[in-house]
Amino acid sequence: MNTQLEAQTLDTLTFDNSFMRELPADPETENYRRQVKRACYSRVQPTKVVQPQMVAYAREVAEKLGFASGICETDDFVQVFSGNRLLPAMDCYATCYGGHQFGSWAGQLGDGRAINLGEIVNHNGERWTLQLKGAGPTPYARMADGFAVLRSSVREFLCSEAMHHLGIPTTRALSLVTTGEQIVRDMFYDGNSRPEPGAVVCRVAQSFTRFGSFQIFAARRETDVLQQLLDYTIRTDFPHLGEPSPDIYLAWFEEVCRRTAEMVVHWMRVGFVHGVMNTDNMSILGLTIDYGPYGWLEGYDPDWTPNTTDAGLHRYCFGKQPQIAYWNLAQLSHAISPLVERAELLKGVLKSYIKEYEYGWQSMMAKKLGLNAFDSETDDELVTELQAILQLAETDITIFFRQLAKIDFELKPMGDVRDVTLPETLMNAFYVPDQLTDDHVVRIGNWIRRYGERVRKDGTLNDKRRRRMNAINPKYVLRNYLAQLAIDKAEQGDNSMVNELLELLRHPYDEQPDKEDYAEKRPDWARHRAGGSMLSCSS
């Protein structure tokens, strides 16, 4: 990096606030809750806080933004990224969007507690929007207070960085600070409110525009604003598509479908469950956005959802994420249909998601198994049976794939002896090995043999297969209980585990011999603990 071009102080950062410049603003500048019509955003200032303190920052994000090293360690940084001090070039705003929540149209939502500080243009000419989450109420705060608690902010901070290091498109997190304020929350909506430490995360993305950002203008029949936003989005974030026109809108939608499919394939690869796939939580860039009651699969269960609000419907459970993304894309297609001359073409484009997803999922599964390519003739069945055997007994999905990579297969036909024991290395993946009946053992053993035959046909040597598998099957993920342990400590003023997990998750595919504990199965005490596997939207 050319250090000459790095910003040596925050005051020398270059801002170019094109979103505000090019899109219609709410003329009202007072900060009170309201319906905002015919505008993409409202100007609003962060609320000042008493005593901001650094919990953690991501140096890679600071580098990406072009901050000289050391800036993040300054008190000025903490003041700026808690919202206490605005840089002269910052012009703050909250955006207007709507959305479908749990399948029903919810009307105007908007940045209720997220405040954009502006767009930085870094030394490489890249545009990055800085956004404080939890920096106080905005006109879109509805009934809520505009703040965020440390618990949910630790989760957002760590998970967005973890996802990035796993190679998954996501919004990033620059910093996490506590505010010195206490925020009252009823974590499980059961009448047990308690004060919790307040916190602010600075999120970073090229764009925070959501499906719901378009939906709100379609719902209000503000077609001219809808078009302005779409034209702006294409020119700014999809310039390779060319000058906006009805045909380009279709091409744009196709790209959103493709990016969304890619994102969901990644989620399915690592066992990530977003938890609240409402259309306001879907990024048009295909970024994982809005880390709320998300969770990581431990025992493989397609029906699992970490979100207690979704406990009845399981709308957003692991296995349904691909369909829900499709449903959400359908809502986006309805929203932009007034701008597309031949709206029936949108249906065809929407269908492209299904192909993209299927193709992406198959090649991802082939890679997870260390194969050269997915061969439907053999692999449809192989993978279907794999999903079945993973559910015979509670099987840790992360550990399973790392252990599977360790098994050596002979490159000669294996004959058909009926194994009654499983490779020892695999036993570590089962939560309660006693759950395995003899029938289960035979069935799993048979699958391993078939997989071995498939590997042999593939002609890939054990070492090569192992390397391939370990490059796509993480050893370390942000297990739900690990995040909770880090939160427990941070709430006591000890930020060490937040920082330790941040460091651990920078290298999720590597063996880290002194961190083996963090790759272990969830301990039994964590199974039913709040935060361990049950989360609410309260944050």
Q: Which residues are annotated as a binding site for Mg(2+)?
A: 281, 290
Size of the site for Mg ion (CB under 5 A): 2
**By CB under 6 A, which span of 31-39, 141-149, 217-225, 483-491 interacts with ligand AMP?**
141-149
For residue 359, give Cα distances in angstroms to 258, 320, 353, 400: 11, 17, 10, 23
- Calpha distance 459→469 (Å, rounded): 15
Of 26, 111, 231, 280, the catalytic one is 280
The one-letter amino acid at 289? I
Any contact of residue 290 with ligand AMP (CB under 6 A)? Answer: yes
Pick 281 or 395: Cβ nearer Mg ion? 281
State the distance between the two ends of the chain, measured CA to CA, in whole angstroms: 38
280 is catalytic: yes
Any contact of residue 113 with ligand AMP (CB under 6 A)? Answer: yes
Sequence ranges of the binding site: 110, 112-113, 133, 145-146, 203, 210, 281, 290
Report the nearest approach of ligand AMP to the CB of residue 103 (Å). 14
Report the nearest approach of ligand AMP to the CB of residue 317 (Å). 17
- Calpha distance 191→520 (Å, rounded): 35
Nearest CA to 405 among 447, 367, 442?
367
**By CB under 6 A, which span of 82-90, 144-152, 354-362, 399-407 interacts with ligand AMP?**
144-152
3-state secondary structure of 143: coil
The one-letter amino acid at 518? Y
Any contact of residue 144 with ligand AMP (CB under 6 A)? Answer: yes
Pick the binder of Mg ion from 161, 290, 356, 379 (CB under 5 A). Answer: 290
Any contact of residue 255 with Mg ion (CB under 5 A)? Answer: no
**By CB under 6 A, which span of 115-123, 136-144, 197-205, 436-444 interacts with ligand AMP?**
136-144
- Calpha distance 184→193 (Å, rounded): 6
Whose CB is nearest to ligand AMP? 112
Indicate which of ligand AMP, Mg ion, none lies near residue 132 (CB less than 5 to 8 Å, by partner kind): none
Nearest CA to 402 among 296, 318, 509, 304?
509
Pick 109 or 469: Cβ nearer Mg ion? 109
With 0-12 / 13-18 / 19 or more C-beta atoms within 10 angstroms meaning exposed / middle / buried, residue 72 is buried
Any contact of residue 141 with ligand AMP (CB under 6 A)? Answer: yes
Q: What are phi and psi of 409, to 5 degrees?
A: -115, 145
In contact, 3 and 68? CB cutoff 8 Å: yes
3-state secondary structure of 15: strand
Any contact of residue 111 with ligand AMP (CB under 6 A)? Answer: yes
Active site positions, annotated: 280
> Where on the chain is the footprint of ligand AMP (CB under 6 A)?
109-113, 140-141, 144-147, 276, 280-281, 290, 292, 537
